[in-house]
Chain A
Amino acid sequence: MRKTLTAISLIALLPAGVALADDDYEKTARGQSQSRDAVMQLARENGWTVREIEMEDGRYEIEGRDREGRKIEAKLDPVTLRVLKMEHDVEEDDDDYGASTRNPAPAGTVAPPQNGLFGNGAPPKVQVN
């Protein structure tokens, strides 16, 4: 009886384990990103002070400073959070840490510039295929 129960338990457990493994594999294969909280956790572990996290070109991009206070820009694989690229002493986007240039206002937030090129002043309609 005991052997039978053990056997049933094992049979019941095996497919579940296999299913879990498959699920994990599929998530990875689909490239399901980890959360920004996970990125922040990684940053804390590395001693980085984070100023900005964003997803760009399918990768997490972190701007901030390392534990020595140097400006950094790190690019992370969104699935594994492996650091793909790390730059030090990069120019920052705005003046949180000093003088630098500002980013332009994205389309849709302000009217296009009045440069005489846009006939009716309406913003362009844009799509990427």
Chain B
Amino acid sequence: MKSLLATLALSTALTLPGLASARPVTLTTTLSNYGGDGAYLALYVTDASGAYAGSLWMAGGKSKYYEHLSDWYRATGGDPAQINGITGASVGAGRTLEITLDLADALFDAGYTLHIDAAVEDMRDSPNEVAIPLTTDGVGKPVAGRRYVASFAYDM
């Protein structure tokens, strides 16, 4: 039992040191004036292999619409536990969503990618609206989305 605990402690120590430190990061998402209802946005991260690593924010509180955020939904099955405590209101056309959070250092320059899936009622779904590698070089460099996001950038 003791050896099991020791193994667990060692593996945890080896796995998480990078995640222990973090830096404040601001994610700024500005929507275009697409002329529709508020957009649902899922902000999430995939690792170097493309596997879902976790969610950072969900704009839009009704789970019945999450299937329209199709890449996020496919990765999570729409599991609300993935976004409990990090869910807010949908974002209106032309508005800017600004999220400030402590993001684990280990996510930068390690092949992780930040994605945004977007959906608007009665308009076309836009999975992978934004896909931007998390790198120190990419800080402060805005990118445009495909359909609803006019620009997205992360700053430290």
Binding site for B on A (CB under 8 A): 56-57, 90-93, 100-113, 115-120, 122-129
Contacts and interface: CB of A to CB of B under 8 A. Distances in A.
Interface size class of B (residues with CB under 8 A): 35 or more
B101 A128 contact: no
B84 A110 contact: yes
15 contacts: A56-B38, A90-B64, A101-B80, A103-B80, A103-B87, A105-B85, A106-B85, A111-B85, A112-B85, A112-B86, A115-B53, A124-B56, A126-B98, A128-B97, A129-B98
Contact of A104 (B87, B90, B91): B87
A92 to B, nearest CB: 8
Contacts of A126: 57, 88, 97-100
B16 A116 contact: yes
Given A102-B63, A102-B80, A110-B85, A119 B56 contact: no
B80 A104 contact: yes
B101 A116 contact: no
Interface stretch (B2-10, B103-111, B136-144, B145-153): B103-111
Contact residues of A: prevailing secondary structure: loop
Contacts of B38: 56-57
Given A102-B63, A104-B84, A119 B96 contact: no
